[in-house]
Structure 1
Amino acid sequence: MPVVIVEMWEGRTIEQKKQLAEGITSSFEKIGVPQEVVHIIIKDNPKHNWAIGGKLASEK
């Protein structure tokens, strides 16, 4: 059972998350993994909880 964890900045719509999940699942199906065993966890993170190069993403 593959488990995919996607961490990204908050702000995507439900429809965008649905499209992401469908695309990831489709990729696994192409290599023979049944869609019903693919688990995807989407974590929305506010930019003030994410730093790049020592600076908060909210400050960029």
Structure 2
Amino acid sequence: MPYINIKVTDEQVTKEQKRQLIEGATQLVVDVLDKSLKTTHVVIDEIPIDNWGYDAKQYSNSKKFKS
């Protein structure tokens, strides 16, 4: 039973985008690992931007969020 965990920042990811992620990730595991579509599980975790960091900085403090 494959388990796929996708983590994204909580920046307005739409229901349709999540559906596409679940469908695409599932199909990739089916195609590459020859696993069953019916037993492949996908979980999407939305992480608050204050809890995400890169380049030793908090994502919410990046230039993208400073206006």
- Mark yes or no: TM-score above 0.5: yes
Q: Where does 1:14-33 land on structure 2 (aligned, <5 Å)?
A: 14-31=15-32, 32-33=34-35
What secondary structure is seen at the aligned counterpart in 1 of 2:7? strand
Runs of 4+ displaced beyond 6 Å: none
Letter of the structure 2 residue corresponding to residue 23 of structure 1: G
RMSD: 1.0
Q: Percent of pairs identical after alignment?
A: 30
What secondary structure is seen at the aligned counterpart in 2 of 1:33? coil
TM-score by length of 1: 0.90
Q: Which one has the largest radius of gyration?
A: 2
Q: Where does 1:1-60 land on structure 2 (aligned, <5 Å)?
A: 1-10=1-10, 11-31=12-32, 32-60=34-62
Gaps of 5+ in 2: 63-67
